[in-house]
Amino acid sequence: MGRGIFRKNLWDFVRGAIVPILFTAVMMGMIVSGLRQTEESSRAENLRILEDSIRRAVVVAYAIEGRYPQSIEYIEERFGIHIDWTRYHVHYDVFACNIFPDVTVIELSR
């Protein structure tokens, strides 16, 4: 008789303590995974937004001035584009004043 009671109490312990702990651990793992995916997509979106902003400023400069800007610093000063140089490297290569420049934004590794 003592054996049956022991098994019942052990099963109650497992079901009452271990299962909720495992469930909580799995849920926390899913939350952490979701946060990482959100951060990754946010970083990619910020990179795309910066590159698009620079390209738009270049087109506006051409529309206003009749030529493409010669440097990225000119774009920053005149068109209010803010580049976080600690996070991004901007490659801005001008071939001629009437040919759209090559604009590439690269995120620096942390």
Torsion sign over Cα 73, 89, 97, 81: negative
Model confidence, pTM: 0.71
Segments in the chain forming alpha helices (H): 2-13, 19-65, 72-79
pLDDT by 10s per residue, the chain, length 110: 455 555 567 777 767 778 888 899 999 999 999 999 999 899 999 999 999 999 999 999 999 999 999 999 999 999 889 999 999 999 999 998 889 999 999 998 86
